[in-house]
Structure formats: C-alpha cells, structure tokens
Amino acid sequence: MPELPEVETVRRGLQPVLEGSTIEKVEQRRADLRFPFPEGFVRRLEGRNIRALARRAKYLLWHLDSNDILICHLGMSGSFRFEEMESSILPGDFVHQRSRDKTHDHVVFHVTRTDGQAAKVIYNDPRRFGFMLLLEESELENHRFFSGLGIEPTGNTLNDEAIAGFFRNKKTPLKAVLLDQRLIAGLGNIYVCEALWRACLDPRRAAGSISGSTRRDRKRQADLATAVRDVIAEAIEAGGSSLRDYVHTDGSLGYFQHSFNVYDREGKVCLRDGCGGTIRRIVQSGRSTFHCPKCQR
DNA sequence: AAGTGAACCTGAAGGC
DNA sequence: TGCCTTCAGGTTCACT
C-alpha cells in the first residue's frame, strides 16, 4: 500500500517517538518476512540509540549510533503503530494500521524515549511483502536496493529535462516508465495514475513520443514533472494533516480516506472542468490503470 | 533489450 | 450463512 507519501507520513509520525530513543529490547516473532531477517538482527539492535529516522524512496532508514542502519520496507500491507507503556497521553495507534489483528505483529521494538518514557513500536504486515535489512552506513550506497534507485519526485531535480532524458527512445507506456524505480524512486500505482490524469496524458502513450524538443513536447514534459511533484507534495501534506487530526480523535488515520481524481473511480465522471468523460479501468503490465480516455491524450 | 506476466502472501469484497 | 473468485497501493524473476 504505501507509496512514498505514506512512507513519509509514517516517518514523520514515528520521528518524535524514535529519534533519540534507545532500543531496549526487540521481539522478532518469525524468521522471515519477504526475506529472512538478517543474521544477528536482534543483537545488533538491542542497546542501540536511534540517531535519526530518514527515508529514501519507499524505504525507512533508522540510523543507529553503531553506524548500522535498520532499513524497513513496508511492502503492500506493512504498517507501524506505537503503544505507550503507561498513562497514554496519545492514542494507542497513531501510524496507519489498517487492522489491529495482532496475529500479524511480526516485530516489537521496546524503546525508552528521551524523556524516560517507555514505548513499544510494533511492525504489523499481513501479507509479509515488507522486509527489514541491517546495513552499515558505508554499505548503503552500493547495496543493490539503493545503488540503482532513481531521483526523488520531490524538489526540483524532477523537471522537464529529467523527464525528457528518462523517456527518450522508449516505446514503453508512460505508466510503466513512471513506475520504474530506477528512474523516479517512490512512485506507485495510485500516484502515477493521478499524475498522468493531472498532466492530461494517456497512460498508454509511448514515453518516447513526448521526449522531443519541440515546444509542445517541452510543455508536456514540464507539465508532467509539475504534476508528479504536486501530487506527491499534496499527498504528503494530506498525510501530515491526518496525523495531526489523529491525535485529537480516535478515528483511523486519514490517508486511506484521500479522495483521488481518477484512482478507483471506474465508471464515474471525470472531475476535470468541462470534460464530462467517463473514467475507465484498464490493465497495464498486470496492474490497474485508471484514466479518462476523453481528456488524457 | 524491452516488455509482459507470474510469483510471493493474506484479507476484503462481491457474486451466487 | 458460506463458498468461490477476484483484487489489492510492491518488487523480483523468468520468459518471449
């Protein structure tokens, strides 16, 4: 489930609990998730202080005082929640947890926070497509999961020129190219659909067909770069507000209640002003694509 | 090389 | 109610 904005929301939610905290104890409840847990997983974590919580693409990076990094990928269904041990000031769950089914609580981190308060951070993942790795700081950039990663879809590195470079000579559909983590890292199915809708581009169109240097192509590249950046930035902002809201309510975290412009809107009317088209669902390389055949060309 | 589909795993939702 | 099928926001691998 989590694409970049969701992972960033999780990071922001966990940061105040984890940064500066000490990992007192780790309960590793099974031998593997998507992959086996690394050798010495528990031993290398217990007693460590968490210096910083960072994110790269859809990976969460816990920087430890031992110079190890705990890397977490949430796969399709992974989530964290935290529980305060005593006198709960905040509600028990605060980071997206779809189900409170404890049968899929695979890892429990017992931490002591900087104020001395004890807390548990629990990783739950029904489908177990997520995974955790431990790397030394120096191993990170050459690791196979990171060395090939593309640029972040935030900030201004993603611009018309970058898009043109990625797309040149490619017959691959726009949808598939935008999902390629080696080019842009962190986009998933939902936000690719949303960005293409926003840029009025047909997901089936060959990427190379808009990679030229004509005025028209330049505009398409720039519009798409802007659309991707805006969609991601707005989703992160929405995730942030859902976190804030959550603290004041007992409801579920908001980022599943996002309303999307095309995603999961098959058969509904296109929301673009004056379009009036009907959203269609198609399948591209095995995944659902939602688009408006009338205004996305 | 590029493109597609299957596989990993569980749960939710819809049809009958 | 229950049984069956389909689908899910990610990634990797094997095949054409």
The dihedral over CA atoms of A46, A48, A50, A56, expressed in degrees to the nearest 10, equals -70
pLDDT of residue A251: 31
Alpha-carbon distance A4 to A22, whole Å? 27
pLDDT of residue A93: 46
CA of residue A173 to C1' of nucleotide B3, angstroms: 10
With distances taken from each CA to the C1' atom of nucleotide B7, the closest residue turns out to be A129
Cβ atoms of A83 and A2 closer than 8 Å: no
Catalytic residue numbers of A, as ranges: 2-3, 58, 287
- Is A173 (CB) below 7 Å from strand B? yes
| Minimum-distance nucleotide, CA of A125 to C1' | B10
- Is A287 (CB) below 7 Å from strand B? no
Long-range CB contacts (< 8 A, 24+ apart) of A244-247?
A246/A91, A246/A94, A247/A90, A247/A91, A247/A94
pLDDT of residue A90: 47
Cβ atoms of A119 and A85 closer than 8 Å: yes
- Choose among A79, A53, A61: nearest CA to A253: A79
Cβ atoms of A290 and A193 closer than 8 Å: yes
- Answer yes or no: pTM beyond 0.95: no
Question: Taking chain A, what is the end-to-end CA distance rounded to the nearest angstrom?
Answer: 28
Task: Please list the rounded mean pLDDT of every run of 10 residues in chain A (297 residues).
Answer: 87 91 97 94 98 96 97 92 63 48 91 93 92 95 91 93 93 94 94 96 95 96 96 88 48 51 94 96 92 96
CA of residue A73 to C1' of nucleotide C7, angstroms: 22
DSSP one-letter string for A70-120: EEEE-TTT-EEEEEESSS-SS-S--S--S---GGGEEEEEEEE-TTS-EEE
**Lookup: tokens for A250:** 């007992």
Residue type, A255: Y
Q: Alpha helices of A96-212 — where are they, by DSSP H?
A: 144-147, 160-167, 174-179, 189-198
Alpha-carbon distance A160 to A217, whole Å? 9
| Minimum-distance nucleotide, CA of A99 to C1' | B11
Query: Helix (H, G, I), strand (E, B), or coil: what is residue A52?
Result: strand
CA of residue A49 to C1' of nucleotide B5, angstroms: 44
- Is A194 (CB) below 7 Å from strand C? no
pLDDT of residue A155: 86
pLDDT of residue A137: 95
- Is A57 (CB) below 7 Å from strand C? yes
